Structure 1
Amino acid sequence: MDRIRVAINGYGVIGKRVADAVRLQDDMALAGVADVVNDYRLQVAAQAGLPMHAAAPQAEGPMRAAGIAIAGGLAELLAKSDVVVDCTPKKVAAVNKGVYEAAGVKAIFHGGESHALTGHSFVAQANYASALRRSSTRVVSCNTTSIVRTLGALRTAGLLKRARGTLIRRASDPWEAHADGIVNTLVPEKVIPSHQGPDARTVIPDLDVVTIAVKAAHNSSHLHTWWVELTRATTRDEVLAAFRAAPRIAFVRSSDGIVALNSTVELMADLGRPRGDMWEVALWEDVLAVDGDQAYYTYQVFNQAIVIPETIDAIRALTGIEPDAARSIAKTDASLGLTRDFLRDHEIVRREEQTP
């Protein structure tokens, strides 16, 4: 296989970011984008020269009327693709699965769908190998991705016994704030555990994890607070080292003025991140505390972007173009510009270069 030909069905919050990430990969080519709307999102994509397709026959006329050049329908897009990334709204993807199978195209779905849809849920650092050459997988949700990254880091270090977390969730995506959200209140989820803990076990089955979720009146991102019982008494430095050794976890510090969710949003903009995206879990280094065999920490999840690197790795895994998880993760992270410390990454690199 020369380059993986990638189709994207659905050009919303996730789809447009996947499209940009695919175009940064030297082993992938964007075959095209399909959708059923004709608003500013698709008009911008068309102006950027992305090959546009109507995901349903009835959408083609309105899309053309809006000035969007249409290269064909979904069937034509799938015919020239090796893998499709389904970024359509929740539950729509389940209907699409049969279409992809009939076209003989591998498919990636996202966390709005159930594990049962594909029988495999994906986070690159945890189970890349079991996704190799599968016909489909599901990249888990933003919150579940963060749970697997952080608890997986402690598990790899031999430190994780059990974990209990509280999730303060955003009320809506920013672009939908006018239509969906809550004001001046908090809404606890009605079921404990919330679905994120059980969902993490679809990736790492033996995790002892319970989550409680609350929806809050903001839309910038999610905040997690965790209590973890460790396998033994240890030090704060050892826990930090476990997080530092894992991919896609980056440190922030309140001592640097990163004191709230809006702080990192501003930081991403100042760092020149496209769309202000944060693909990493932002973990507060100076908030983390360890007391014997108990660890406590807090981190931020930027829900619009955290699953993008996982999706790129899932494309490589399904097609088998890169069989090694570490190599795919490194390649993806380098292309996007991920870091392990937003303000001090250059110091980490220098220390590693000096280590004999």
Structure 2
Amino acid sequence: MDRIVRVAVNGYGVIGKRVADAVRAQDDMTLVGVADISTDWRTRVLQAKGVAFFAGTPEAGDALQAAGQQSAGGLSDLLREADVIVDCTPKHVAAENVPIYRERGLKFILQGGEKHEVTGHSFVAEANFETAVGRDATRVVSCNTTATVRTLIALKRAGLLKRARGTLLRRATDPWESHLGGIMNTLVPEPEIPSHQGPDAQTVDPDLDVVTMAVKVPETVAHLHYWAVQMTRPTEKEAVLEAFRGSSRILLMKDDHGLVALNTVKELMADLGRSRNDLYEVALWADMLTVQGDELFYAYMVDNQAIVIPETIDAIRALSGRETSGPRSIEKTDTALGIGGGLFAAPSPRPAEGSIEANQRP
């Protein structure tokens, strides 16, 4: 497909709004509209941006009308405009939408809350982009699984990975929902070992020998992972760092950067001018990384609101056939979103068409 890819987003929550903005930042795809069921500030902001808004259900259409808001039509109207639909609706809702997409012959992308079996393919760009090219559907795996696969694939490609065991400290809820729930003054272990992220990573690469354990913690900034990896051979620390440098989506942080905690990394993203202070990379503490013979230990931060956004953009290109090379798509996505280029040299993302910044360009 050589023409601009027409993309629709169903669901305008934490992930959906970021996907919508990321699509608008690309020069080889266009956002034809967004569907949702809410009538609150989120969809009002969307309409203020000049993005076509569609009612996700007939009931939502009635609620919009009662709230004095206009829509461009219903979900079926939106789907007629699209080549690819990115479903960012809540867990299980997306799976219920799949028959609608298949009936219309639409290519579709689901998020990590759905089961692998719904699409038969799970996606992380650096691991298996080429296997998604031309498919009808894929699932961009969860934030924690994306981070897990990125680092382990980097080690695997360097011939260093034998087996990996990870402990995941998971934030309790999204920041914007902190007033609704979460946990206080306690830790909540996931009831099973392995936690779901290890088996989920194996849906992307079945050869990964990985086990994960997870615990919810009373904070909402980001996730934190600790990994113990047995390598294929004794090696030097610099060889491991070089393997991680092979990924533009792994950010290596040094002690003298002063990035000592999750909140400081988020503040850096704000200072770099990232949209919504988003951290798209795995932020890994390089000086903390330790090698003892064939054993490797490291820790990193995962921004669950942002890390899957570049993966979703790459998945759109793969399904549409707009790009057949993973490295080329990754480079294009990274450039548009300001990923890479050195810790303090990350460029600001290209303004989305129709945004205030774009309208001010000469």
TM-score normalised by L of structure 2: 0.94
Partner of 1:170: 171
In 2, the alpha carbon distance for the partners of 1:116 and 1:275 equals 32
- Check the 8 A contact 1:43/1:67 in 2, yes or no: no
* Unpaired stretches in structure 1, ≥5 consecutive residues: 347-356
Partner of 2:221: 220
Per the alignment, do residues 342 and 282 of structure 1 end up closer, same or farther by CA in structure 2, a change over 3 Å counting? same
- Check the 8 A contact 2:248/2:339 in 1, yes or no: no
Alpha-carbon displacement from aligned partner over 1:303-349 (angstroms, at most 9, x marks no partner): 00000000000000001011111100000000000026423779xxx
Q: Report the Cα offset of residue 257 of structure 1.
A: 1.6
- Check the 8 A contact 1:249/1:340 in 2, yes or no: no
Q: Report the Cα offset of residue 247 of structure 1.
A: 3.0
Secondary structure in structure 1 of the residue aligned to 2:203 = coil
* Unpaired stretches in structure 2, ≥5 consecutive residues: 348-362
Partner of 1:3: 4
Partner of 2:354: none
Secondary structure in structure 1 of the residue aligned to 2:265 = helix
Q: Report the Cα offset of residue 292 of structure 1.
A: 1.1
Letter in 2 for 1:258: L
Letter in 1 for 2:242: A
- 1:81-160 map, 5 Å: 81-160=82-161
- Check the 8 A contact 2:272/2:346 in 1, yes or no: no
- Check the 8 A contact 1:170/1:220 in 2, yes or no: yes
In 1, the alpha carbon distance for the partners of 2:26 and 2:341 equals 21
Partner of 1:305: 306
In 1, the alpha carbon distance for the partners of 2:75 and 2:345 equals 45
Letter in 1 for 2:309: I
Letter in 1 for 2:119: T
In 2, the alpha carbon distance for the partners of 1:48 and 1:65 equals 22
Letter in 2 for 1:327: R
Partner of 1:232: 233
**Identical positions, percent:** 60
Q: How many residues align?
A: 346
- Check the 8 A contact 1:250/1:340 in 2, yes or no: no
In 1, the alpha carbon distance for the partners of 2:63 and 2:323 equals 40
Q: Report the Cα offset of residue 63 of structure 1.
A: 1.6
Superposed CA RMSD in Å reads 1.2
- 1:322-337 map, 5 Å: 322-337=323-338
- Check the 8 A contact 1:52/1:68 in 2, yes or no: no
Q: Report the Cα offset of residue 239 of structure 1.
A: 0.1
In 2, the alpha carbon distance for the partners of 1:344 and 1:284 equals 18
Letter in 1 for 2:183: I
Q: Report the Cα offset of residue 228 of structure 1.
A: 0.5
Alpha-carbon displacement from aligned partner over 1:112-148 (angstroms, at most 9, x marks no partner): 0000100000001111111111110000000000011
Q: Report the Cα offset of residue 254 of structure 1.
A: 3.2
TM-score normalised by L of structure 1: 0.95
Partner of 2:42: 41
Partner of 1:354: none
